[in-house]
Amino acid sequence: MSGIDVGVVGISEGNGHPYSFASIVNGYDDAGFRASDWSVIHDYLAEKDPSEFGFDGVEVTQAWTQDPEETDTLCRAAKIPTAADSLDGMADAVDAVLVARDDYETHLEMAEPFLDRGIPTFVDKPLALDPDEVAAFEPYLRDGLLLSCSGFRYARELDGPRADTAQYGPITLVDGVVLNDWSKYGVHLLDAVFGVLDARPETVTATGSQPTTVTITTTGEATVQIAALGDAPITFDVSFYGRDEVTRHRLRDNFRAFRRTLWHFFEMVRTGEPAIPPRETLDVIRTVVAGRRSLSTGDTVAVEDVTF
């Protein structure tokens, strides 16, 4: 494949990922962003050097949202040449697609027109929490047509732990704190943590409402504890505790996390190989679902008992 024409699908309430992702690929237009509601994204884009934008041979050429006015604004802000009339129309014109919405209840409906045509698709986190929907997605994960993860799987701030977990000796505890709710935001820290640990989640025990505390045993020596704070300032924090080393990390560099995620997606488009082992993606989803079940029942839930 030479060039890759990309479509971007959005938008969900409070989620500016269509603007972020498309701008990281295409660059951005100052006047277009000033017409949008995403000054916070415009501000961090404006801090970057022009060399940090773009991927060789890749362009976002189409955009669709459920609101034509929003689509026009997105196109102006991220220099997207075509506002698509429909998902089917977009599917006829692109080589890959970014479903950049985090309302997981709509993901299967939004992604199917592309996946059914064999078009590689990135789906924002969390992929899905309904067992039937996850089961429908699973073959595409295995076939290298689908990527879904938090950008914090590739967080720059975790480069050190990912490169050398031996520095810690045995890691016995990983502690994480995230804003908002477990169902939608727990995946951020699960992808971040299990992108580092050489272990799989085994059991999940969840307590409380806001904050929600989720304790995860693993196949290794580490216990993972994540607190979802509910309504709080921006918080994506992870600490690793080992016999020989302790490190603490504030995950704040969204731009590089997103850019790295997009790089892995476009490599998947080119190679046809899954960017993340499907088992790892499914483990994260099972852990989110297990946490929801534990909150509902008060019981500890085995991750392997969450089936799709």
Residue range 146-176, pLDDT digits in tens:
999 999 999 999 999 999 999 999 999 999 9
Here the CATH number for the domain that contains residue 240 is 3.30.360.10
% the chain with pLDDT above 70: 100
**What local confidence, expressed as pLDDT, does residue 2 receive?**
77
Residue 194 in any domain: the answer is: yes
pLDDT over threshold 70, residue 62: yes
Is residue 133 in some structural domain? yes
Same domain, 63 and 119: yes
Q: What is the mean pLDDT of the chain?
A: 97
- pLDDT higher than 80, residue 282: yes
The sign of the dihedral angle between the CA atoms of 53, 56, 57, 58 is negative
DSSP string, 27-73: ---HHHHHTSS-HHHHHHHHTS-GGGS--TTEEEEEEE-SSHHHHHH
Examine the domain organization and report whether 39 and 105 are in the same domain.
yes
Judged by DSSP in three states, 91 sits in: helix
Give a yes or no: residue 15 inside a domain: yes
Asked if residue 280 belongs to a domain, the reply is no
Alpha-carbon distance values, 279 to 60, 68, 251, 305 (Å) = 29, 38, 25, 15
Does one domain contain both 36 and 139? yes
Question: What was the pLDDT predicted at 210?
Answer: 83
Residue 205 and residue 77 in one domain: no
Average pLDDT of 5-25? Answer: 95
Q: pLDDT grade, residue 241 (50/70/90)?
A: very high
pLDDT at 235: 97
Residue 13 placed within a domain: yes
**pLDDT tens digit sequence for 70-93:** 999 999 999 999 999 999 999 999
What is the dihedral sign for C-alpha 47, 124, 90, 119?
A: positive
Looking at the structure, tell me whether residues 80 and 174 fall in a common domain. no
Per-residue pLDDT for 305 more than 70?
yes
C-beta separation of 165 from 196 below 8 A: yes
Q: Residues 128, 162: one domain?
A: no
- Do 147 and 162 fall into the same domain? no
Structural domains in the chain (count) = 2
* Chain segment 185-208, per-residue pLDDT in tens: 999 999 999 999 999 999 999 999
Residues 67 and 174 in one domain: no
Name the strand (E) or helix (H) holding 21. helix 17-26
Range of the domain at 201: 156-251+285-305
On the question of pLDDT at 41 being above 70, the answer is: yes
37 and 137 assigned to the same domain: yes
pLDDT value at 209 more than 90 = no
Question: In sequence order, what are the residues at sequence separation of 6 or more whose Cβ sits closer than 8 angstroms to the Cβ of residue 107?
Answer: 99, 101, 123, 124, 127, 128, 133, 137
Are residue 222 and residue 86 in the same domain, yes or no? no
Q: What is the band of 1 on the pLDDT scale with cuts at 50, 70, 90?
A: low
In angstroms, the CA 240 to CA 196 distance is 10
Residues 90 and 83 sit within 8 Å (Cβ to Cβ)? no
Helices (H), 59-158: 68-77, 87-91, 107-115, 131-142
Closest CA to 20 of 3, 1, 36: 36
In a domain, 10, yes or no: yes
What is the structure's pLDDT at 35? 93
8 Å CB contact between 271 and 159: no
Predicted confidence at residue 233, as pLDDT, reads 94
User: Within this chain, do residues 164 and 216 fall inside the same structural domain, yes or no?
Assistant: yes
Indicate whether 109 pLDDT > 70: yes
And the tokens for 193? 């943590």
pLDDT beyond 80 at 112: yes
| pLDDT over 70 (residue 232) | yes
CATH of residue 75? 3.40.50.720
Same domain, 131 and 57: yes
Q: In 3D, which of 2, 21, 11, 60 has the Cα closest to residue 255?
A: 21
Task: Name residues whose C-beta falls within 8 Å of residue 186's C-beta, 6 or more positions apart in sequence.
Answer: 178, 214, 226, 228, 287, 288, 291
Evaluate if residue 131 carries a pLDDT over 90: yes
Q: Is residue 103 part of a domain?
A: yes
In a domain, 87, yes or no: yes
